[in-house]
Structure 1
Amino acid sequence: MSHATYELKAEARERVGKGSSRELRRNGLIPAVIYGDKQAPIAIALSTNEVTKRIHAGGFMTTVATIDVNGEKISVLPKDYQLDPVRDFTMHVDFLRVSASSKVTVEVPVHFVNEEKSPGIKIGGVLNIVRHEVEMHCPANAIPEFLTVDLTGAKIGDSIHISHVSLPAGSTPVIADRDFTIATIVAPAGGVDESAAEA
């Protein structure tokens, strides 16, 4: 499962536009929008500190949150956020309204385990990661925190495809028409250490 859900308090924004956004940021707030689920978008303002903390904690884009807008609690999934290119603070966030039955498309990080059980890596082979993240269709209430790739038994020349990964229930890769590669084990630039290979 993904990171624990959390709640953010927000206030509805009457005025939108550059001037009001600048004023919000001066007051320690971030302009944001909640849209989707066949309802009208809602313009809101959130605490800059709270949102920045959530972004830096990791899993921001794959964790369903509750936003309390003047007492109305709305389940959302962050879809996008803009950072100031110079000062690295959050400028704006887009949230997608979700329900228990919603399916969402998210980038799920890939974690590799058991490198020490890979004969190819043991003799000096290099893990060449083709995809650090895989785009997945998932239930909004069961977004995987990451996909686990087990490298046990992987030799030099082996390719690890999406079919080698056990996917969480209800989650499917967006690329469905081919068994795409996630990583390969390649020989190092200087060749393989033969003595290690014999050992």
Structure 2
Amino acid sequence: MKEMFVINVQSRTDTGKGASRRLRRTGLVPGIVYGAHQEPAMISIVHSDLLRHLDHEAFYSHILTLNVDGKPEQVILKDLQRHPARPFVMHADFLRVSAKEKLKTNVPLHFVGEDVAPGVKAGGVVSHLLTEVEVSCLPGDLPEYIEVDISALELGGAVMLSEISLPSGVELPALGQDDAQDVQVVSIHAAHVAVEDEEEDEEGAGAAEE
């Protein structure tokens, strides 16, 4: 069952850096809502409310209900600007979605079967080369995450982007481009490789000292 996210926000008319600073001093986050062939709308969000939602992984890849002055709009979170030194969100961008128009957004990857993978049992180490992937789909088909099963992966093996099992109605734009190149998503490699490299480095350093 998908989680439901409802965020209450207020419209605003003041713009510019000075207005944004004043909002942040009162515990509000400036934001914008755009897309769906409508004019952009400037909004403000209670910072504590936004942080509470951001604790949920699904919030980043979910159709959200944004109540703008009490009027609901369907959106996805498109971008966040965070303070470089403090746990504070500086700005939030939301993209309106239409039930009849495909959208593009990133969805997290969940890896399953690592504990039983033959490559792991043989002493291999799992490397997650991608942790999320961009998808294209209608809003109603947007998955909260995509599962990648590596339970049969052998030592030295890898799962390619083209080998991921996708939910119905979901596509990967990266594979549809004219110059598209398949890439590894996850692999299992021998654990001793890194150790050997370290030993070689140490030997090289010792020879240099001599």
Q: TM-score, normalised by structure 1?
A: 0.88
Report the alpha carbon displacement of residue 188 of structure 1 after superposing the two structures with TM. Answer: 1.6
- Return the letter of the residue paired with 1:181: Q
Report the alpha carbon displacement of residue 190 of structure 1 after superposing the two structures with TM. Answer: 5.8
Residue equivalent to 2:184: 181
Residue equivalent to 1:48: 47
State the distance in 2 between where 1:178 and 1:171 align: 19
State the distance in 2 between where 1:6 and 1:153 align: 36
Residue equivalent to 2:119: 120
Query: Cα deviation per residue 1:125-178 (whole Å; 9 max; x = unaligned)?
Result: 111222111111122233212221112221112121133321011111121134
**SS of residue matched to 2:50:** helix
Report the alpha carbon displacement of residue 60 of structure 1 after superposing the two structures with TM. Answer: 2.4
Residue equivalent to 1:111: 110
Residue equivalent to 1:18: 17
State the distance in 1 between where 2:118 and 2:25 align: 56
Runs (5+) with no aligned partner, structure 1? 192-199
Residue equivalent to 2:93: 94
Give matches, 1:1-199, under 5 Å. Answer: 3-176=2-175, 177-189=180-192
Report the alpha carbon displacement of residue 22 of structure 1 after superposing the two structures with TM. Answer: 1.2
Report the alpha carbon displacement of residue 14 of structure 1 after superposing the two structures with TM. Answer: 1.4
Query: Percent same amino acid at aligned positions?
Result: 36
Higher RCO (CA-CA < 8 Å; seq separation 6+): 1
Report the alpha carbon displacement of residue 186 of structure 1 after superposing the two structures with TM. Answer: 1.1
- Return the letter of the residue paired with 2:159: I
Q: How many residues align?
A: 190
Q: TM-score, normalised by structure 2?
A: 0.83
Structure 1 residue ranges, 4+ long, deviating more than 4 angstroms after superposition: none
Name the structure with the higher helix share. 2
**SS of residue matched to 1:51:** helix
Residue equivalent to 2:204: none
